[in-house]
Amino acid sequence: MGQNYEKYSDEELFQLLNLEDNEAERAFTEIYNRYAPYIYAYCRRFLGNKEGAEDIFQETFINFHQSVSKLKEMTNVKGYILSIARNLCHNFLRNQKFSLTYDDYSSVIDEDRSVNDELLDLIKRGIELMPEDLRELFILREYDGLSYTEIAQISDSNINTVKVKLYRAKQKLRKILEPYIQDLSNYE
Range of the domain at 105: 99-183
Q: Are residues 166 and 143 in the same domain?
A: yes
Average pLDDT over residues 113-127: 70
- Residues, the chain, total? 188
Specify the number of domains making up the chain.
2
pLDDT the model gives residue 24: 85
Q: Are residues 118 and 178 in the same domain?
A: yes
pLDDT the model gives residue 8: 85
Predicted confidence (pLDDT) at residue 122 exceeds the cutoff of 60:
yes
Q: Say if 2 falls within a structural domain.
A: no
pLDDT confidence tier of residue 185, bands split at 50, 70 and 90: low
pLDDT confidence tier of residue 111, bands split at 50, 70 and 90: very low
Residues whose CB falls within 8 Å of the CB of residue 51, separated by 6 or more in sequence, listed in order: none
pLDDT confidence tier of residue 88, bands split at 50, 70 and 90: very high
* CA–CA distances in Å: residue 9 to residues 13, 34, 83, 131, 153: 6, 11, 19, 36, 21
Q: Say if 17 falls within a structural domain.
A: yes
Predicted confidence (pLDDT) at residue 74 exceeds the cutoff of 90:
no
pLDDT confidence tier of residue 17, bands split at 50, 70 and 90: confident
> Could you tell me the pTM of the whole model?
0.59
**CATH number of domain containing 161:** 1.10.10.10
Q: Say if 188 falls within a structural domain.
A: no
